[in-house]
Structure 1
Amino acid sequence: MGATYHQFCPVAKAMELLDERWTMLVVRELVAGSRHFNDLRRGLPRISPTLLSKRLQSLVAAGIVERRPGEREVQYVLTQAGQELAPIVAALGAWGVRWVGELGDRDLDPKLLLWDLHRNVDHDAVPTGRTVVQFRFPEVAPRKQDWWLVITPPDVDVCDVDPGHEVAVRVTADLRRMVLVWRGDVSWWDAMRAGDVALDGPEPLRRALPSWFRPTVFASVPRV
C-alpha cells in the first residue's frame, strides 16, 4: 500500500491504494484487455518483473484483481471493483491529452507503440488471410528501427525480427509523428502530406491501411 494519509476522505483512502508507482498503469493494461503476465510486461516495458509481481499481488489482496490459474498461464482479471476503475483511467487519459504538455524523447517507444497498435487492429477491415504491415522508424537506434505486425484472423503478432512473409504495406515514419497520429493529435492524412509518414504498397492497401486500426479512446478528446 502507498502512503497513509490518515484522513477519512474517500479520495485519500483510495489514493492510499492506487498512488504507488505503476499501480494505475497496471490497471490501465488490464482495462485495455491484457490478461497474462507477459502481456502486461509488453504493455509496461520499463517495469521490472519483480515489481510487476508485487503490484499484482497488492491489487489481488485489495480485491481489485482476481488471479485465475490456468492450464498454461495464470490470468489476471479485474473484479467488479477493478472494472469500476475503467472510467477513472479513461478520465485521467483524457485530462492528460488536454492538459499535459509536450512529449519528451524518452516517452517515444516504438515497442510500446506497436503493442498498442496490435491490440487495436480491426479484423473486419483488414484483408482476409495473412496481412503483414512493416513499420520503419529511420531515426531511432538500428535495433529498434524495424517492426512487423502479422495479422491473421483472429490474432496479431508483433515482431522485431523479419517474420519472412510478404509485406502488404510498409510504413516509414518519424517516430514522434507516428505517436501523435496514433494518439489522435495529427491525422494520418496530414502526417502523410507533411512527409512525416510514408506508405509503400499497392494503392488500394495504402488507402485502406488507416482504417485497419481502431482509433484510441483518446483520439476523440477535444484538444485545448
Structure 2
Amino acid sequence: MLGYGQFCPLAQSTQLLCERWTLLVVRELIAGSTRFSELQRGLPLISPTMLSRRLKTLERAGVIQTSVAQGHSVYELSEAGRELRPIVELLGAWGHRWARSDLSEGDLDAGLLMWDMRRSINPDVFRNRQVVVEFEYPDAPKGARDWWLVAREGDIDLCLHDPGYEVDLVVRSSLRAMTRVWICEQTLNEAIRSGEIRVLGNPELARRLQDWLTASPLSKLGTRPAPEVVWKSTDQA
C-alpha cells in the first residue's frame, strides 16, 4: 500500500484503516464476530485471501489480537481496536444521514440482512419460550428465499434450512421492504399497515415482533440528532 508520506496522525491512521474492507472488518469485530467464518458471514463478498490479509494487517498494527480455541483462530479487538468503536459508530450514523444506499439490487443481500438481524435481536422479548419465525423473500435469489430465526433461552439461531420446529410466525416481504425497515427508513408496523410486509401466525407474538427485531444499531444511531460541533479558531485577532 502506498502511504501519504506525511507524519500527520490523520494520515497515519487513514493509511491503516481506509484500505478496502478494513473498517468493515472492524465493524464486524465490534458487533461480536470472533471466528473467521463469522466475519465472512458479515462480509459475504470478501474473498478468504483478502480477509486473511486484512486481519494480519490489523494484528501487526496492534488493533486486534489473535488466539486459538478448540483448534480455531479467535480474533478480538485490542485496547487500540476498542477505541475505534465511537469512530465506527459516528461514521455509521453519518452514513445513515448523508450517504444512504438507494437500495438498488446490488446493495440487497438476504444473508447479510438476516445475519445482522440475528445478532441484533432483543432476546429478552421471548425469553421464557421458544419462538420460531420464518422469513420469506420471494424476490431473493434462489437458495436465499427462506430463513428461520429460532429464539430459545435467550439465544438466537439463524437457519437457512427448515430446523424442523413448529413455526410461530411467518414474515413475508420483499427483500427491499425488510431492508428499509432494518435501516430505519420505516418501522415494521408501518410496513405491515401498508401491506409491504405480511405477518402470519400467533397474533400475540406478532404484536411483539417490532420490539424483538428492533433495527440496525448503526442506523438507529443515525436517527438521533447529530452532536453539535463548534470549531475554535487558533487565529489571533
What TM-score results when the alignment is normalised by the length of structure 1?
Answer: 0.94
Secondary structure of the 2:220 match is coil
Q: Residue 124 of structure 1: CA displacement?
A: 1.2
Structure 2 equivalent of residue 96 of structure 1: 95
Taking the aligned partners of 1:135 and 1:214, their CA distance within structure 2 comes to 16
Point out where structure 2 has 5 or more consecutive residues left out of the alignment: 226-237
Equivalenced residues, count: 223
Structure 2 equivalent of residue 164 of structure 1: 164
Contact 1:98 1:223 in 2 (8 A): no
Deviations 1:35-76 (A, max 9, x none): 111111111111111111111111001000000111242211
Taking the aligned partners of 2:97 and 2:148, their CA distance within structure 1 comes to 31
Q: Residue 223 of structure 1: CA displacement?
A: 8.1
Q: Which moved more, 1:209-218 or 1:136-145?
A: 209-218
Deviations 1:15-45 (A, max 9, x none): 1111111111000000111111111111111
Q: Which moved more, 1:112-121 or 1:65-74?
A: 65-74
Give every structure 1 segment of 4 or more consecutive aligned residues whose post-TM-superposition deviation is greater than 4 Å.
none
Taking the aligned partners of 1:211 and 1:21, their CA distance within structure 2 comes to 35
Secondary structure of the 1:128 match is coil
Which residue identity is paired with 1:175?
Answer: L
Deviations 1:60-108 (A, max 9, x none): 0100000011124221110010001111111111111111142221111
Contact 1:185 1:219 in 2 (8 A): no
Structure 2 equivalent of residue 203 of structure 1: 203
Structure 2 equivalent of residue 25 of structure 1: 24
Structure 2 equivalent of residue 183 of structure 1: 183
Which residue identity is paired with 1:30?
Answer: L
Taking the aligned partners of 1:57 and 1:114, their CA distance within structure 2 comes to 28
Contact 2:117 2:216 in 1 (8 A): no
Taking the aligned partners of 1:220 and 1:12, their CA distance within structure 2 comes to 27
Q: Which moved more, 1:140-149 or 1:82-91?
A: 140-149
Secondary structure of the 1:156 match is strand
Q: Which has the larger radius of gyration?
A: 2
Structure 2 equivalent of residue 76 of structure 1: 75
Q: Which moved more, 1:29-38 or 1:140-149?
A: 140-149
RMSD: 1.6
Contact 1:184 1:220 in 2 (8 A): no
Structure 1 equivalent of residue 124 of structure 2: 124
Q: Residue 152 of structure 1: CA displacement?
A: 1.9
Contact 1:135 1:148 in 2 (8 A): yes
Contact 1:64 1:81 in 2 (8 A): yes
Which residue identity is paired with 1:180?
Answer: R
Point out where structure 1 has 5 or more consecutive residues left out of the alignment: none
